[in-house]
Amino acid sequence: MNKKLIALAVAGVISGYGAAANASTTVSGFVDVGYVLADETYDDSSDAATLGASPAAKNSKDGTFSSKGEVDVISTMGAVTARIDIDVDVSATGDSATLEQAHIAWDLGSVTLFGGSFNNPLGADGQDKPDMEFNSHSVVYNIMDNQTTLNDGNNVSGVAVAGAIGPVTVTGAYLNDIGGAAEENSMALILNASPIEGLDLELGMVTQDDQMTTGATPVATTAGDVMDFNVTYRIAGAAVGLDYMSTDNILDSAYTFWAGYTMDKFSAKLRAENVSFDAAGSTDHEVITFYGSYKAAENLKIGLEIRDAETGAVKGTSPGLFRNNAITGVGEGMTTTLKMTATF
């Protein structure tokens, strides 16, 4: 489902990927089939034990297929809408199904009340493949995903109230601490606006308990309070987007800038990203991503992506140093992926 769930609900639109507009209960979802054409990063935990002794060891994800899917059930009775999203991940080692979202939206007229677990409304990048601009998530999304502790993606649990004040949708939320701190809560405030056709603006922040390491010189293990500003502008077939994040701890800032053009069934996009760390001696991350897609049918898109990341990690010096960064979710090197995504 589109991540701007709350803003859409305030506008009176809660729908799935292919849900019938006036049905009281709808079932929708998607299937995402992927293939890793080439992976020069060491981002799989099974490689950790071999990196020191054999830095040239083949990444276990190179040349592999993946298959993921989602089934969304939405039911509306009067002013109340209930939604459940179930994710399915089929891998070579076994199948798994997890609950992504389970929430209630209650239309109270001037405001909408949300309760349950739902996609984090902060940030520009969508969680599900049909809502993503590229095959891979942005570094800003990954940072938030690695801060939120719910077991399936960048999700939060709690209550939220959203309403329109003139042209601005204002959302306030009271949540379980996004980092999982016991007996603590997070607060979020998000402003959405579309002042002209094609232009979407968002400014938001969420608090988080500062969790620290033990010892004589404690170090923060969570990003603390997070602020995010993002803007997307679409006109004719062209589109540009910027997502900028700042945090209290660990990071100075992170940004994602992308631009693309769609002509008929074909689309091409370029994304540039940077992550600047707060800790002395940490190396900034720089990521460039090229993406092209073909809309083979009304509900089927085929996308090819090449992502190249520079993180400063070094192969072979110690197990695990060349794997994905725990904060940004990015590994040193180039990854090429092919995906087919069909919605229903």
Q: Which amino acid is at 142?
A: N
Q: Report how far residue 16's alpha carbon sits from residue 262's, in angstroms, rounded to the nearest whole number.
A: 23
Q: Which residue has the higher pLDDT, 335 or 153?
A: 335
Q: Which residue has the higher pLDDT, 94 or 145?
A: 145
Q: Which amino acid is at 283?
A: T
pLDDT above 90 coverage of the chain, percent: 57
E-strand ranges in 219-284 read 226-235, 238-247, 251-263, 266-277
Out of 57-71, 109-123, 227-241, least confident range: 57-71
pLDDT at 53: 46
pLDDT band at 135 (very low <50, low <70, confident <90, very high): very high
CB–CB of 271/296 below 8 Å?
no
**Average pLDDT of 212-222?**
74
- Which CATH class name applies to 5-343? mainly beta
pLDDT at 102: 92
**pLDDT per residue as tens digits for the range 26-45:** 999 999 999 999 887 765 44
Kindly report the backbone phi and psi dihedral angles of residue 195, in degrees, each rounded to the nearest multiple of 5, phi listed first: -65, -30
Residue 1 scores a pLDDT above 50: no
Looking up tokens 């719910």 gives: 150
Q: Domain limits of the chain?
A: 5-343
Q: Report how far residue 141's alpha carbon sits from residue 137's, in angstroms, rounded to the nearest whole number.
A: 6
pLDDT at 116: 94
Q: Tally helices (H) and strands (E) across the chain.
A: 3, 16
pLDDT band at 244 (very low <50, low <70, confident <90, very high): very high
**pLDDT per residue as tens digits for the range 57-113:** 456 677 889 999 999 999 998 889 999 999 998 865 666 788 888 999 999 988 999
Q: Report how far residue 11's alpha carbon sits from residue 192's, in angstroms, rounded to the nearest whole number.
A: 12
In 97-227, which residue ranges form alpha helices assigned H by DSSP?
139-147
Closest CA to 77 of 117, 158, 12, 23: 23
Looking up tokens 């969508």 gives: 126
Question: pTM of this prediction?
Answer: 0.88
Kindly report the backbone phi and psi dihedral angles of residue 6, in degrees, each rounded to the nearest multiple of 5, phi listed first: -65, -45
Q: How far apart are the first and last CA of the chain?
A: 12
**Average pLDDT of 198-212?**
92
